[in-house]
Structures are given as C-alpha cells and as structure tokens.
Amino acid sequence: MTWFLFALMVQAAGTTLLISFVAIAIGLVIGILVCGAMLSPSVVLRGPARLYVSFFRGVPLLVQLLLFYHLLPAIGINISSVAAALVALSLCTAAYQAENLRGGFLSVSRGLLEAAEAVGMERLQRFRRVSVPIAIRLTIPALVNEAIGILHASALISVVGVIELTKTARNFAATTFDPLPFYACAGLLYLGLTYGVLGLGRAAERHLAVRHA
C-alpha cells in the first residue's frame, strides 16, 4: 500500500467519522423527543413512540438502509445516497438512544425525588435539578456504547452507495487484487476512531463527575 492510498484510507475514515457523528447528534435530538413521549402519561404520545422504537429496533439496519434507498422512490421521494444513509442511521440510533435515556430516567431513585419534594421543589424543578442531571450521568456509558455501535454500523452504508472506510478498503482490495493490507488498515483505523470516541466519553464522565467538597 502506497502513502497515497493510505492517505485516501484516512480520508475515508474521516467520512465514516463525520457521518457517524452527524447521525449520533441527530439521533440524540430525536431520541430525547421519543424518550419524552415514551415517559409521558398521555397514550397519544406513548403509543406512536413505542411503535417507533419497536420498528427501528426490530428491523435490521441493513434492511432499513435498503428500504430508504430503494423503496422511497416508489412514492416519488428519490433521496440521495448520503441522505438515505443519514436518515436510516439517525432514525435507528434514535430508537436505541431513546431507550437508553428512558433507562436512565427510570433509574433515578424514588427516594431522591421524594426528598426533593420534601424540601419543597416543584415538579419542574425536580425534573430539571434532580432527574435530568442524574439520568444524564447514568446514560453516558450507554451513549458512548451506542456511538461506537454506530461508528461500526456505518460500514453498512456502502450498500446505498456512500463510499466510507470499509467500501474504500474493498475498492482498493479489488483494484490491487491484494485485500489483506487494506482490510488490516481499515481495522486499525476503526480501532483508532473507537479509542477517540471512548476518550471523549471518559472526558464527559470526568467533566460531569460529582465532586465532593
């Protein structure tokens, strides 16, 4: 493998990172909304949110990608490769992130909430000052896990024509008829990206850690 091809592999790793990051970010926003809907007392909100989560966790991501790319044109919505990949990745990770967040909120101990009520906090205050900070801390490890999952799952998006890290390795393997160095290089680059995400997650945990005075 030449330096030029290696540089192109690194560039492809950048594409993988960018698409994964955007999907995680959009997924987090949608995930928060879906989690809110699932925790809401209203059935009108809870029902569709549960349907959403069961669909996007129930159908394999690969199938979702193919659905968005090949099925939407049948009703006149012909989205581009990158759009199909981002929509599928974001909507899928949103379902998982909503569940992670819901788990975080459900793990906030009742005793703490009762204590907050006892010191006179209003409902909204309890939510903002007790539930949210604790739930976020409890959710971060799961969020990091999900981010790594999406980083790796993004290897699938070449089925809709996005040229990311794995596809670049495949292309070069096919061109040179020498697959090993490219797959090895892709593996190492994924490992590097994964460590980057882990580092960010740890920094976030440190930042949010409860400091005892």
CB 68, CB 88: distance < 8 Å: yes
CB of 142 to other proteins, least distance (A): 21
Backbone angles phi, psi at 162, to 5 degrees: -90, 130
- From the list 61-69, 100-108, 186-194, 201-209, the region that binds other proteins by CB under 8 A is 61-69
33 touches other proteins by CB under 8 A = yes
Q: Identify which of residues 63 and 200 has a Cβ nearer to other proteins in the complex.
A: 63
- CA 132 – CA 89 distance, rounded (Å): 26
- CA 186 – CA 151 distance, rounded (Å): 13
Closest CA to 68 of 88, 93, 96: 88
Sketch the per residue contact string, 173 through 212, with other proteins: x for CB under 8 A, - otherwise: xxxxxxxx--------------------------------
Q: Identify which of residues 60 and 161 has a Cβ nearer to other proteins in the complex.
A: 161
Residues 6+ apart with CB under 8 A from 196: 17
How many other C-beta atoms can be found within 10 angstroms of the C-beta atom of residue 58? 8
159 touches other proteins by CB under 8 A = yes
78 touches other proteins by CB under 8 A = yes
Sketch the per residue contact string, 108 through 147, with other proteins: x for CB under 8 A, - otherwise: ----------------------------------------
